[in-house]
Amino acid sequence: MSYNDKHNEANGENNNDGANDNNSWNSGWEGPTDDPAVNELRRRQIKNAAAMLLISQGVPMILMGDEMGHTQRGNNNTYCQDNDLTWLDWSLTEQNAELLHFFSQLTAFRHAHPVLRNTQFLQNRDYVGSGYPDISWHGTQPWHPDWSDGSRTLAFMLDGQHARGGSVADDSVYVAMNMHWDGHQFEIPGLRDGKRWHVFANTGVAAPQDVAVPGAEPVLGDQRNFWLAPRSVAILVGR
């Protein structure tokens, strides 16, 4: 989130070692900065990545220190470094307590919802008779995802009745992702049987409102529409 290019000068190979195809963006400035807007965007992008990882099926892989903002200062090949480039700075738990709290609540949310930990492939069909498929894809309009190359918005819903192949009952989970530089309004799929959407996480708002304690999520005021800020991810839970 802080570098466009590798910075492996400390390895003594004139920055020729390590991969050049880094999937990274410096958020507007290369390396450390005092610009509050850049640093806020970087924090939000870290939260976005964490949110998308921890609501995905399969085993989430988190690199040591990601949860507290650990950095290798742009060095992507630190095998030869036994110094503060690779050591974990435990003071980051206080310095980046906001990030650590966000990761912690995401982890707890994942543990609380078996619909996020299926052992079988999702099928995009309703095989338990709940009225919803196990996973459904959406855009800013429900049931209409935009799969075009230029799209920067996507949403999906996991039906809780299909958790673990329908062997256990869980809440439904709706995830909206807006990677556009503009905010967008998402129309949310409706729920049945008097259930309502609650807001677990919204990276587009400031802490501590960015994430709730699992099981104590506030009810969404507008059950039909949700405004999502630029480059933000929201996670709703329906119960």
Domain that holds residue 75: 9-106
User: What local confidence, expressed as pLDDT, does residue 21 receive?
Assistant: 87
Does residue 112 lie in a domain region? no
Q: Can you spell out the DSSP letters for 50-66?
A: HHHHHTSSS-----TTG
Digit-coded pLDDT (tens) for 10-62: 999 999 999 998 889 999 999 999 999 999 999 999 999 999 999 999 999 99
Q: Are residues 218 and 188 in the same domain?
A: yes
Does residue 4 lie in a domain region? no
Does residue 114 lie in a domain region? no
Q: Are residues 124 and 234 in the same domain?
A: yes
Q: Are residues 65 and 132 in the same domain?
A: no
User: What local confidence, expressed as pLDDT, does residue 226 receive?
Assistant: 96
Does residue 113 lie in a domain region? no
Digit-coded pLDDT (tens) for 73-125: 999 999 999 999 999 999 999 999 999 999 999 999 999 999 999 999 999 99
Q: Are residues 91 and 164 in the same domain?
A: no
Which residues lie below 8 Å from residue 5, measured CB to CB, with a gap of 6+? Answer: 20, 22, 30, 74
User: What local confidence, expressed as pLDDT, does residue 88 receive?
Assistant: 95
Q: Measuring CA to CA, how many Å separate 11 from each of 32, 88, 115?
A: 20, 19, 44
Does residue 141 lie in a domain region? yes
Q: Among 55, 77, 106, where does a domain finish?
A: 106
pTM: 0.95
Q: Are residues 97 and 171 in the same domain?
A: no
Q: Are residues 48 and 88 in the same domain?
A: yes
CB count, 10 Å around CB of 97?
12
Q: Among 46, 75, 106, where does a domain finish?
A: 106
Digit-coded pLDDT (tens) for 163-175: 999 999 999 999 9
Taking alpha carbons only, the member of 176, 171, 183, 184 closest to residue 217 is 171
157 in Cβ contact with 176 (< 8 Å)? no
Q: Can you spell out the DSSP letters for 3-18?
A: -SS---GGGTSTT-SS
Q: Are residues 83 and 181 in the same domain?
A: no
Q: Are residues 183 and 149 in the same domain?
A: yes
Domain count for the chain: 2
Which residues lie below 8 Å from residue 44, measured CB to CB, with a gap of 6+? Answer: 203, 204, 231, 232
Per-residue three-class SS string for 107-167: HHHHHHCHHHCCCCCCCCCCCCCCCCCCEEEECCCCCCCCCCCCCCEEEEEECHHHHHHHC
Does residue 3 lie in a domain region? no
Does residue 224 lie in a domain region? yes
Q: Are residues 232 and 126 in the same domain?
A: yes
Tell me whether strands 184-187 and 225-228 are parallel, antiparallel or unpaired: antiparallel
Does residue 18 lie in a domain region? yes
Q: Are residues 63 and 98 in the same domain?
A: yes
